[in-house]
Amino acid sequence: MHWSDRLQRFDRRWIFLIMALAIVIPLYVPIGLPIKARPMTKAAFNAVEELHAGDVVLVSMDLDPASTAELEPYYRAVMLQLKRKGVKLVFATLWYQAPPLVARWLRETVDVAIAPPGTPGYEGLPDRAYVRNQDYVYLGFREGKQNIILGMGANLPGVFGGKTDDGTPFADIPWLRNIHGLGDFKLMVLVSAGAPGAKEYVQFAQNRYDLRMVAVTTAVSVTDLAPYYQAGQLLGIVAGLAGSAEYEVMVGKPSIGVQGADVLNAGHGVVIIAIVLGNLAYFASRRRKK
Amino acid sequence: MTPALGPVDLLGAWIAIFLTMAILSFLYGDNPFYKLAEHLFIGVSIGYIVVVQIKNNLWVKLERPLSPWDLVPAILIAMMFVKLASRKLAWLGRFPLAVVVALYAGQSVTGLVGSDLGDQIKTASRSLIVDKIDLNSAPPGELSQVPGVSPAIAAKLVIERTARPFTSLDDALSRPSLTASERADLADERGLLVGTEARAATESNRVDWFGVASGVLLLVALLTGLLYFYFSIAHTGVLGRASRVGVWILMVGFGASFGYTVQGRIALAIARAQDIRGTFVSPADAAQIHGEVAAIVSSVIIVAGIWIWERRRAGVAAPGEAS
């Protein structure tokens, strides 16, 4: 049998096995390839760097457990960046799967310091533990997709009944009293796994209220959002796991994202080799038949 | 001493690892373990959705005093279900559907026209002549767009130029207030085509030729891509050739989309591997869970189970062949 025919009849389960090895081995034997941030990741980073202490930022956590692989590294990195800037944070979510995840992430990244003074391997400014209803609030989940976005744009307290998720009235939190709609936030950080998410915020709120927004999204959604970045509707986009790794490097605390990026390179290598071999086999076979 | 994980937490972690390996066993072929994991996932998801929607959506609305307007959605929902009771009155179900369609259409039109049409057309119509960013006069926000220039560096450049205007890029990038790491970042971005050299200058009205070429390429790609979808005239001659270019542009776009999709799928597999390894829990918890051991034990159970199942299937088929 000709090598091209043998290659075309190759059992794909061997490719699955090779891919599994390409994913597992770099986790134990890191390759350490360099990570260079792309312009849209840098733009997202710079947008957060321009904030000042006391600015109020909305973090919309529109994700589910399946997307944490790509979004969690960025979330942890941007939380460190936001907290070391001393901004006030408002968390909300439009996805029903998100609340338990948000509750855990708040406990692990906002209620405690991510990088206190003396953190090994970290040379940037330290952050501190934030106090609920003083430094940050969690508004909770609301069902309604773009209707909620439209409502938040016009009357944010009305959408959440004037209370945070734990029942604290907005009026009891001094820095929240001036937040009437999305336009009152200095910046919006959109942790978006799909719809409703970054795209809906751009379509239904950004244009109407001239909002400043950065987004992290799963890799499959990046091509949909890239035109918004090019048009300036999004100040920056962090693209999936690779973008999250770049962001971790920029913030100065490499972690699960950088570890994952190493493995991603190995996985991509396997895919590229498979595609090249597949094409070689196809064209060789076609030429042989001619 | 670190508190031990409770038996429920430990069992939960092991079940998660077993179900991960069960789902991945589909790569070998469909089998009962995969079916078990799949059905469990669907059942638990639906149960979770129902509980969360009742708690966070329905109950929240029922807790407050009801107003007459609250009857409107109730009536519309009732009208939707009328067709289950009576075929004669099934036409009533069209009204709530019409309300929903009209609502979403109205919202989408107002939203999409501004963001997906207006802003995009505005960006596509901007001038093709792009000037380099003048380091001596651009505001800090614009300076940050120069490759390698962060907001912190931009702020320093503004202070430096006030003291002494820049005479060249080398002069600007070697000012004393810049730290060694900032200079290293800027040195990384020096380049003739897309780097600092191409985008920045120390005087006004210098043309950014890379920007001009990019703009022309984007415009050609946009027009030829749109032309492909214009079916009122046959795609022959000049139009046909332009449409062909548009096809290639679309294929490049699909290729980029495919590449990102591959990245996303591999990232999912990486997350499962990291979870099994205990990356997302504390080292103490990971030491108690022994994720790798649990994965190996699960794999052995699944492989053995699939082997027994396939032998039983072969045994059931064999008596038929013998007769």
**A58, containing H or E segment:** strand A56-62
The count of other CB atoms within 10 Å of the CB of residue B197 is 16
Residue with the bigger pLDDT between A222 and B5: it is A222
Find the closest chain B residue to A235 by CA distance.
Answer: B145
Q: How high is the pLDDT of residue B244?
A: 94
Q: Does residue A39 have a cis peptide bond before it, meaning omega lies within 30 degrees of 0?
A: no
pLDDT score of B73: 85
pLDDT (mean) for B270-289: 90
Minimum distance, in Å, between the CA of residue A50 and any CA atom of chain B: 7
- Whether residue A84 is predicted with pLDDT greater than 90 in this model: the reply is yes
The per-residue pLDDT for B315 is 83
Q: Which pLDDT value is given to residue A290?
A: 77
Task: Look over chain A and give the mean of its residue pLDDT values, rounded to a whole number.
Answer: 93
Residue A3 has pLDDT above 90, yes or no: no
Q: What is the mean pLDDT of residues B71-87?
A: 87
Q: Is the pLDDT of residue A210 over 50?
A: yes
CB contact under 8 A, B273 and A39: no
Q: Which of A70, A99, A231 sits opposite B120 (nearest CB)?
A: A231
In contact, A190 and A201? CB cutoff 8 Å? yes
Instruction: Summarize pLDDT for A59-74 with one digit per residue, the tens.
Output: 999 999 889 989 999 9
Q: How does pLDDT run across A157-188, given as a tens digit for each residue?
A: 999 989 999 999 999 999 999 999 999 999 99
Instruction: Report, as an integer, the average pLDDT of B67-79.
Output: 86
Tell me how many helices (H) and strands (E) chain B has.
15, 2
A233 touches chain B (CB under 8 A): yes
B292-295, long-range: CB < 8 A, 24+ apart? B294/B13, B294/B14, B294/B17, B294/B18, B295/B17, B295/B20, B295/B21
- Residue A146 contacts B, CB cutoff 8 Å: yes
Q: What is the mean pLDDT of residues A193-201?
A: 94
> In B, which residues are within 8 Å of A202 by CB distance?
115
Q: Do A70 and B267 touch (CB under 8 A)?
A: yes
Q: Which residues of A touch B257 (CB under 8 A)?
A: 220, 223
CATH topology of domain A31-254: Rossmann fold (3.40.50)
- Residue B179 in contact with partner chain A when CB distance is under 8 A: no
Provide the CA A208 distance to its chain's centre, in angstroms: 24
Q: Assess B274–A contact: CB distance below 8 Å, yes or no.
A: yes
Q: Is the pLDDT of residue B80 over 80?
A: yes
Which tokens hold the place of A223? 């091509």
Q: Is the pLDDT of residue B53 over 60?
A: yes
Amino acid making up residue B251: M
Q: Which of B49, B107, B267 sits opposite A69 (nearest CB)?
A: B267
Using 50, 70 and 90 to split pLDDT, how confident is the model at B319? low
Q: What CA–CA distance (Å, rounded) separates A117 from A66?
A: 33
Instruction: Say how far apart CA B31 and CA B27 lie, in whole Å.
Output: 10
Cβ separation of A204 and B49 shorter than 8 Å? no
- A270 neighbors A22 (Cβ within 8 angstroms): yes
Q: Indicate whether B322 pLDDT > 70.
A: no
- Is there a contact between A99 and B52 (Cβ–Cβ < 8 Å)? yes
Give the mean pLDDT of B37-54: 92
Q: What is the mean pLDDT of residues B230-242?
A: 91
Residues B105-151: tens digit of each pLDDT:
998 888 888 889 999 999 888 888 889 999 999 998 888 888 888 88
Closest-CA residue of chain B to A105: B280
| DSSP assignment string, B67-126 | -GGGHHHHHHHHHHHHHHH-STTGGGGHHHHHHHHHHHHHHHHHHHIIIIIIHHHHHHTS
B181 touches chain A (CB under 8 A): no
A207 or A180: which leads in pLDDT: A180
Containing B188, the helix (H) or strand (E) segment is: helix B180-189
| Distance to chain B for A203, nearest Cα, Å | 5
pLDDT at B174: 87
State whether A23 and B253 contact (CB < 8 Å): no
Chain B stretch 26-85, residues whose beta carbon is closer than 8 A to a beta carbon of chain A: 27-28, 48-49, 52-53, 56-57, 64
Interface test with A, best of B261, B270, B274, B277 (most A CBs within 10 A): B270
Which pLDDT tens digit goes with each residue over A87-131? 999 999 999 889 999 999 999 999 999 999 999 889 899 999 999
Confidence (pLDDT) at B1: 52
Backbone φ and ψ for A199, nearest 5 degrees, come out as: -60, -45
Determine the Cα–Cα distance for residues B190 and B146; give it in Å rounded to an integer: 10
Mean pLDDT of chain B: 89
* Cβ atoms of A256 and A68 closer than 8 Å: no
Contacts of B147 in chain A (CB under 8 A): 39
Q: Searching chain A, which residue's CA lies closest to the CA of residue B117?
A: A203
Question: Does the interface predicted TM-score (ipTM) exceed 0.85?
Answer: yes
Q: What is the mean pLDDT of residues B78-92?
A: 88
Q: Over 90: is that where the pLDDT of B188 sits? A: no
Q: Residue A59 in contact with residue A100, Cβ under 8 Å?
A: no
Dihedral sign computed on CA atoms, order B261, A70, A104, B280 = positive
**Is B115 within 8 Å of A233 when comparing Cβ atoms?**
yes
B52 vs B35 pLDDT, higher one: B35
* CB within 8 Å: A203 and B112: yes
Give CA A69 to chain center in angstroms.
9
Q: Which residues 105-124 of A are in CB contact (within 8 Å) with B?
A: none
For chain A positions 1-60, those within 8 Å of chain B (CB to CB) are 13, 16, 19-20, 23-24, 27, 36, 39, 42, 45-46, 49-50
State the pLDDT at residue A172: 95
Q: Mean per-residue pLDDT for B184-196?
A: 81
Q: Do residue B264 and residue A141 have CB atoms under 8 angstroms apart?
A: no
pLDDT of res. A59: 98
Q: What is the structure's pLDDT at B323?
A: 43
Encode pLDDT of B29-43 as tens digits. Answer: 899 999 999 999 999
**What distance in Å separates the CA atoms of residue A179 and residue B112, rounded to the nearest whole number?**
26
Per CB-CB distance under 8 Å, the chain A contacts of B64 are: 161
Looking at residue B318, what is its pLDDT?
59
Task: Using an 8 Å CB-CB cutoff, list chain A residues near B28.
Answer: 13
